[in-house]
Amino acid sequence: MRRTVAREKLMLLIFQMEAQQDRSEEAIGTFKSFYMEDQDQVEYFDAVLKRYLENSKEIDEIIENGSSGWHLGRMARVDLAVLRLAVTEICFMEGEKESLRAPAGAAINEAVNLAKKFGSEDSGKFVNGVLGKIARSR
């Protein structure tokens, strides 16, 4: 599995956890048993997921501050899941080994592609704008 596919699966898991309000180890384990058959990117998947779960409140604050008047409750759930994944990669992976980190530009590009694939017609532009503002402020 390529990193792009692992990001897509992480976004889907974040979306699922937040939609179902279930971050339990059981829910995560069930998701991984269905969608992580290829072990190639498991270390990356686990590292980003761990950082997301540890920092989700701060991640949401960063997104809200970077979204110019958009409250999280007004955002499309897909867009929010994509933003949560990208902000985790951009802002919270510094303690991980280099092979698990991505440059901000790569994380933003991948997030825009995910937003275009799973979101609305305007999702790519919205995600790009929010993440660009966040990256510039770091």
pLDDT (tens digit per residue) in 55-78: 999 999 999 999 988 899 999 999
**What pLDDT was estimated at residue 38?**
67
pLDDT in tens, 25-47: 999 999 999 888 767 788 999 99
Residue 70 is predicted with a pLDDT of 87
State pTM to two decimals: 0.95
The predicted structure's pLDDT at residue 1: 55
Are 126 and 112 in contact, with CB atoms under 8 Å apart? Answer: no
Q: What is the 3-state secondary structure (H, E, C) of 32-63?
A: HHHHCCCHHHHHHHHHHHHHHHHHHHHHHHHH
Residue 49 has what pLDDT?
97
> Does position 17 have pLDDT exceeding 80, yes or no?
yes
Backbone conformation region of residue 21, classed left if phi is above 0, alpha if psi is from -120 to 50, else beta: left
Above 90 in pLDDT, residue 99? no
Which pLDDT does position 36 carry in this prediction? 80
The rounded percent of the chain whose pLDDT value lies above 90 is 83
